[in-house]
Amino acid sequence: MNAITEHNRAGAEPRAAYWRSSDTANAGPAAAGMRAVALCVVSLLALGGCGNPQPYVTEQRLRRGLVIVLPGIEGRSPFNEEICRGLDRGGIDWAIELCDWTIHVPLGFLINLRAEQRNRAEAGRIADRIVRYQQNYPGRRVVLIGQSGGGAIAAWICEAMPWGRKIDGAIMLAAALSPDYPLTGALRNCRRGIINFHSSRDVVLLWLGTTVYGTMDGQHRSSAGRNGFTVPSPRDRPREYQKLVQVPWTYEMAQAGNIGTHLSSGDATFVAAYIAPLVGMPRWTEDELGAVLHPAIHAATQPATRAATSPATRPAPPASRPATKPASRPEASPARRAGQV
């Protein structure tokens, strides 16, 4: 029995059907009994959409915010369950839903990798569910975390959001998208933007694998999860790219469990130390990002004006995250916004 199943049996609250209609959510006191029955039925029917158990999806958590974790082409597995555990361990008290967008058939991973039309349709269905969540929990933030193929699904969910609806932010871990994939549409529908974690050490899957079998968008080449996204030249760069932040792998991350390989990008300790604080931030400013991602260079890269944020609104990184870098290691590269030199 895995840890998530054990957590679910240990007394997690019944999950709420956040995908219900807003009319049902706003029913008056006279309809309370009918509403309770309806929610139970809808919850049970909806479990097949993103798989179960979902120990971190409760009514109490949904009232605080929503994180949707999108796995790679393998579907739900212990590797992406680690991401959920890491977020919880890092202090995220929002609902954390592991949303399995894949199909499970023999050699299904190849279909999940290359069936772009089907995958975009699935992203559209998830976007619809997010809209219903926003209707039922107005003002609550929604953050997407996509690992590997899930990074592409995160981008397509953002693109599929209807006019007037936005995702708060998206975080990509080892994304299996081509480097020159245009992110303008996805960035436009993200308030905070997109953070792309990439590693040149991810050779087997994001260089050899995607060169042979292709990326999620059908290109046979190294992926953006290995070398980052290609940023248009200043002359042709859409303004939305100001919200793209690219984070290369560093030696500090290895001390938190991410050794630069594909699957270690979702290590629970790494997620608790680096990803959870990003989720909890009200905005992704240069100084706030630097404080989490690169403490050693933060003092040298602070902007002259600090944006007003409330430190109490984001969880503190766990003690296991290194505060400084050993002198024997090479200097880490800072996180860079698109076009920054």
**pLDDT average, residue stretch 161-176:** 97
In angstroms, rounded to a whole number, what is the distance separating the alpha carbons of residues 233 and 272?
35
Is the pLDDT at 3 greater than 80? The verdict is: no
Q: What is the pLDDT of residue 234?
A: 86
Query: Where is pLDDT greater, at 330 or 69?
Result: 69
Residue range 7-29, pLDDT digits in tens: 443 444 444 455 555 444 444 54
Please report where in the chains the tokens 């609250």 appear, as a residue.
13
300-314 average pLDDT score: 37
Note the pLDDT of residue 17. 54
pLDDT 10s digits, 196-233: 999 999 999 999 999 999 999 999 999 999 999 999 98
By C-alpha distance, which of 143, 138, 189, 160 is closest to 314?
A: 143
Residue 324 clears pLDDT 70, i.e. is over it: no
pLDDT for residue 6? 38
Q: What is the mean pLDDT of residues 133-144?
A: 97
* Residue 160 binned pLDDT confidence (cut-offs 50, 70, 90): very high
Q: What is the mean pLDDT of residues 189-199?
A: 97
Residue 321 identity: R
Rounded Cα distance between 172 and 296, Å, is 23
* pLDDT at residue 126 is higher than 50: yes
So what's the pLDDT on residue 40? 37
Structure tokens at 119: 């995958």
Say what percent of the chain tops pLDDT 90: 63
Between 186 and 326, the higher pLDDT residue:
186
pLDDT (0 to 100) of residue 169:
97
The one-character DSSP state at 263 is G
Alpha helices in 173-311 (DSSP H): 184-188, 210-213, 224-227, 251-255, 268-270, 276-280, 286-293, 295-301
**H or E stretch including 95?**
strand 95-98
Q: Decide: pTM greater than 0.85.
A: no
**Domains located in the chain, CATH noted:** 60-337 (3.40.50.1820)
Residue ranges in the chain assigned as alpha helix (H): 3-9, 22-25, 32-50, 59-62, 78-89, 108-114, 116-136, 149-160, 184-188, 210-213, 224-227, 251-255, 268-270, 276-280, 286-293, 295-301
